[in-house]
Amino acid sequence: MSKRHLVSFDWAMKKLLRSKANFEILEGFLSELLKEDIHILELLESESNKSTRTEKSNRVDLKVRNSKNEIIIIEVQYEHELDYLQRILFGASKAITEYIHEKEPYSQVIKIISVNILYFDLGQGEDYVYLGKTIFKGIHKHDVLRLSDSQQALYNKEQIDELFPEYYLIKVNNFDDTATDTLDEWIYFLKNGNIKDNFTARGIKKARKELDILKLSEQERAAYEYYQEDLRYQASMVESSYGLGMKKGIEQGIQQGVEQGIEQGIEKGEKQKAMEIAINLIDILDIETIAQKTGLSIAEIEGLKQSET
């Protein structure tokens, strides 16, 4: 195997894969992921051609329309975000509203497929590819709601989940580098930036050829190196913030624990002293007076009296 050094997929989407000449690469990746023959009709406007540290609020990296008039959103995300699941929901919903015109019937709502390539740990799960779909399941008979014959004819779909957005989550860091099928070959590339000689996935040979760093012009290579440095900078900032936050949290927790322990110790010591005084006064004073003198309750003093007898 000859080791190749290829540009990262997210940078390629921003710079190289927008050319029709390279649609074959995107079509190959999407075909292997979605398990169907994908043909790209056009690239659509997205919010994400920004490349500076102050312009990282954009998220959709690439948006395409396929031959079935479906919109496929492709996003690569490095930064850990707790609300990422809601964000991809918002992105899919926004795309739906963008591509339906006023006065059009709801039957014209387009299918959205959200593909998310994640370089951070989202949620709890051991797999490296997750698919989210919408189904309607009966709460009594537990059957899954299906389209009627007339609805199938109207939508040209067979299942209800085909009408709703689908979400693919590719957790790159969970992949163990063992490629057992053609989709794994693409994920190996996403994780390692290399493509092995024996890989046969659709579009991957062209990716190996077109995404070679050595083929970049001097200007393109400088831009790519800056982009990679920017990613390292962001990762360093996140790690530093996380580390400082953890350290501060631990220090605060220790301090609070010490203070709480001291307070409890004082309270326990004072209570023990009051009980000792009460025991000494049991044969001298009545219970109500002892309670006033020590701060103990009448029930506590009666208990002490019984234990003494």
- The pLDDT, as a whole number, for residue 23 is 93
- The pLDDT, as a whole number, for residue 240 is 58
Alpha carbon distance 278, 268 (integer Å) = 15
Where does the chain have alpha helices with state H? 9-15, 23-34, 84-98, 149-155, 182-192, 204-210, 218-281, 287-294, 298-308
The helix/strand count (H/E) of the chain reads as: 9, 6
The structure tokens 């990296």 sit at 61
Task: Select from 82, 72, 78, 57 the least CA-distant residue to 8.
Answer: 78
List, for the chain, all residue ranges whose pLDDT scores fall below the cut of 50: 1-4, 48-58, 262
Alpha carbon distance 85, 22 (integer Å) = 30
Give 96's contacts (C-beta < 8 A, 6+ positions apart).
109, 110, 112, 165
Alpha carbon distance 43, 40 (integer Å) = 8
- The pLDDT, as a whole number, for residue 11 is 85
Task: Select from 198, 218, 217, 219 the least CA-distant residue to 208.
Answer: 198
Q: What pTM was estimated for this model as a whole?
A: 0.71
Angle subtended at Cα 239 by Cα 235 and Cα 242, rounded to the nearest 5 degrees: 140
